Amino acid sequence: MGGYNEELAQAGELLAGFWIWRVGSMEDAVQWLKQAPFGGGVEIGIRPVFETEDFGAVFTPEMREQEQCVQEMAERNKAA
């Protein structure tokens, strides 16, 4: 799998939008995608999105504190 710049670097390609689904597994996402209203020949990328809870114990208290600071900064910037 290529990096972000490699995947979207083609000038003739159009990134038209995205959907975010909360599913139990990548297989569930594929099943949802099979129901999408696309015709043949369409290329779709599926990428996981992680939440802090997904990292379990490796997401240390220090990392949690840093994440909280980033969230607070984002909220302040949004309000400004």
Any idea where the domains of the chain sit in the sequence?
A: 4-79
Q: Considering the entire predicted model, what is its pTM?
A: 0.51
Read off the pLDDT of residues 32-56 as tens digits, 9 standing for 90 and up. 888 888 777 777 888 998 888 889 9
Question: Which residues contact residue 45 at a Cβ distance below 8 angstroms, ignoring those fewer than 6 apart?
Answer: 7
Mean pLDDT, rounded, for 68-74: 94
Give the pLDDT confidence score for residue 11 in this predicted structure.
58
Task: Assign residue 54 a region (left: φ > 0; alpha: ψ between -120 and 50; beta: otherwise).
Answer: alpha
Asked if 48 and 23 count as a contact pair (C-beta separation under 8 A), the reply is no
> 3-state DSSP: the chain helix, strand, coil percent, rounded to 5?
50, 0, 50
Mean pLDDT, rounded, for 64-75: 94
